[in-house]
Structure 1
Amino acid sequence: MQTLPDSALPQVVDAARWQAAREALLVKEKELTRARDALAAERRRMPMVAVEGDHRFVGPDGEVGLLDLFDGRRQLVLYRHFFEPGVGNWPHSGCPGCSFFTDHVPNLAHVNARDTTFALVSPAGQEEIAAVRTRMGWDTPWYTLVDPEGFGTEFDVLEYFGLNVFLRDDADRIYRTYFVTARGSEAFTPTWSILDLTPLGRQEEWEDTPAGRPRTPPYHWWRLHDEY
């Protein structure tokens, strides 16, 4: 535990002043909640674009198409995980950031219950994927990209991670409805939400944090969860 000077700690006040500060902050938190709901409503009204490419993948049972990844459900969310030669500690692990993200994938039974499938895609072969899943304790569906360049170019994940959302209609035509990358994916990583509740925050240099509190460069402190 790092020693902090008293000047770096929050101000000590009585219970009444603390409650007043809490109630003032709660007003802004509720405004943010309503704004987030409004943004989600706008996202649901975005147009969509037909997927024209014949994208192929390899799963545990052999080669499949994009439609197969829906696993019979209406919606599909795909995360492009950078696990491939030249990235991270290949073949023992992939991109640390992608691994950090994948650690936070929830119990997908709840997602599946709303007619939605979530899966990972990477250029790595199924043998390497199986080994990393075992090491990390992940059970998320994970497919091998047959044509990483074609998939990455069409869906904006050739050189950087991203989440793509797809919808299929009753005729099994597939449409791309949404895409997000960078900090837009933070809703999937509740580690940030937990740290944002604390006085020390994320402890990264970019944050607006009172002087004297710990701050380190982003990304550099991240480890695979079995390497801390």
Structure 2
Amino acid sequence: MMTGFRVPPVVDRQTWQREIDALRVREKAATRELDAIAAQRRRLPMLAMDGYVLEGEHGPVRLAEVFDGKSQLIVYHHMWSPDQRWQCPGCTGYTAQFTRLEFLSAYDARFVIVTQGPIDQALAYKARVGNKMAWYSTANSAFGADVGAPPGGGFALNVFLRQADAVYRTWYTDRRGVEQLSHTFPLIDVLPYGRQEQWQDSPDGWPQYPTYSRWPGSAEIAQLYGAHS
């Protein structure tokens, strides 16, 4: 239990409702703006992709085959550090959220992980941390580098559309753009104390710690998900 920190002021019901109503105006405006952004995203042009070959659990696989018969594909590019037992905790934690992805089938879509790590090491890491997603390696392909996730680079997320065997890149984001496609931070952000990181605008007396310091490490995530570390 957190103690020793300041708390929000206690007010009467009418005052509390007035403050909620004022905030709701901004929340609704933000929702409408996100709807408008999504509408613009649906109108983006697309970029034709080369015939990349990745490595999957059962061997080489063409990019068009990664769709597994679907027409739309989301790819999370998991950061990879060679010869490390535990990979990026941010990527490990982010992808650990997605344990039920079957709902995407109704939208003719699939969501997979691609990493620069060799496929045998990538699959071993997947098992080590208890990840439930399909993993592919771009270690022997220019695919990752060509879509914003080169060897030694950061994480990213790409979206693709398939027409027969032709694949097109439709959208891309990285950094905090990826954060929006999760449920962890939206849940934490509605808590009274929020993320408790020093960069956030919080009232005086609120708990604040160095950025990332409250994030679980990869080994902790593996333990939480019951994987064999």
| TM-score between the two structures when normalised by the length of structure 1 | 0.89
CA offset digits 1:12-47 (Å, max 9, x no partner): 101121111111111211111111111100000001
Give the C-alpha shift of residue 167 in structure 1. Answer: 0.6
Change (3 A) 1:226 1:211: farther
Aligned equivalent of 1:154, options 146, 154, 159: 146
Work out whether residues 163 and 179 of structure 1, in 8 Å CA contact, stay in contact via their aligned partners in 2: yes
* Partner amino acid, structure 2, of 1:57: L
**Partners in 1 of 2:189 and 2:57 — Cα distance?**
38
Q: CA deviation at 1:227?
A: 6.2
Q: What corresponds to 2:12 in structure 1?
A: 14
Report Cα offsets for 1:97-149 as digits up to 9, x if no partner: 1112111225110112211111101132333333322232222010111435x
SS state of the match for residue 188, structure 1? coil
Give the secondary-structure state (helix, strand or coil) at the position aligned to 2:107.
coil
Aligned 8 A contact 2:118 2:139 in 1: no
Q: Matches of residues 118-129 of structure 1 in structure 2 within 5 Å? A: 118-129=111-122
Contact 1:51 1:174 in 2 (8 A): yes
C-alpha contact 1:205 1:215 (8 A) present in aligned 2: yes
Please give the root-mean-square deviation of Cα atoms over the aligned residues, in Å: 1.8
- Residue 220 of structure 1 and its aligned partner are, at CA, apart by 3.2
Size of the alignment, in residue pairs?
219
1:192 matched to 2:222: no
Structure 1 residue 175 corresponds to structure 2 residue 164: no
Please list every run of 5 or more consecutive structure 1 residues that lacks an aligned counterpart in the other structure. Answer: none
Q: CA contact under 8 A between 1:4 and 1:213: conserved in structure 2?
A: no
Match of 2:227 in 1: none
Contact between 1:104 and 1:188, CA under 8 Å: does it hold in 2?
Answer: no
Please tell me whether the aligned partners of residues 120 and 142 of structure 1 are also in contact (alpha carbons under 8 angstroms).
yes
Contact conserved, 2:138 with 2:144, CA < 8 A, in 1?
Answer: no
For residue 69 of structure 1, what is the aligned residue in structure 2? 66
Q: Are the equivalent residues in 1 in contact too, given 2:53–2:62 (CA < 8 A)?
A: yes
Q: Are 1:103 and 1:138, in contact at CA under 8 Å, matched by a contact in 2?
A: yes
Contact preservation (8 Å) 1:55, 1:147: no
The CA distance in 1 between the partners of 2:64 and 2:222, in whole Å, is 35
What's the CA shift for 1:226?
4.2
Equivalent position of 1:59 in the other structure = 56
Structure 1 CA distance, aligned partners of 2:126 and 2:160?
Answer: 25
Alignment of 1:1-228 (within 5 A): 1-5=1-5, 8-52=6-50, 54-85=51-82, 90=84, 92-147=85-140, 150-158=142-150, 159-169=153-163, 171-222=164-215, 223-224=217-218, 225-226=221-222
Query: Is there any run of 5+ residues in structure 2 with no aligned partner, and where?
Result: 225-229
